[in-house]
Structure 1
């Protein structure tokens, strides 16, 4: 996995951890409410909204790039049937494109889930 996709996957893992912390009964709902309504987070939220949209835009760009790669490798090449190595490389590239699609798609989905959970 390239460095960029490793960073996106790490971001996805952090998002999963945050969602689990918000959903599991680690703290009472009143404590979470106090935490999200604190002055410190109110100060950060003004700037965080800009960064959230920027991050969402970057993730959508990576999602579109993964879709482009999937479309590129989704058709079978005639030379892939003749040479085993070419067919394996083609399948490997398609697998990587699909993996990147799911990583970026779930990262976008969890961004929306976290935003909604925090606003409750």
Structure 2
């Protein structure tokens, strides 16, 4: 993943819809996305989730009901999301949020596939 450049899309609006547990992000290139709190939690950029190298990722399970309890700006390049399960160590850069938005479908299918391979059933079958 590349770093921020002057041409990198940047959020112009970030809104949390707590009831539906969706984070709505609008970027300055007119891209708008709705990312579920579960999706953002399981794709946290933290070392706790991603590990310290390829193959060291930790599959996150039981995150269907997680919500975001706080959104804190980090400089003018990222936000720190605090989740209802206490997780708060991931810094979501603008580039990473844009990457998640751009590849949402494939990433979600990958996550569901990894859960199935691990024999884990999600509580709900709704699409996050």
Structure 1 length normalisation: TM-score?
0.27
Which structure is larger by alpha-carbon Rg, 1 or 2? 1
Q: Which protein, 1 or 2, shows the higher relative CO under an 8 Å CA cutoff with sep ≥ 6?
A: 1
Structure having the larger proportion of residues in helix: 1
Structure number with the higher strand fraction is: 2
Using the size of structure 2 for normalisation, the TM-score is 0.26
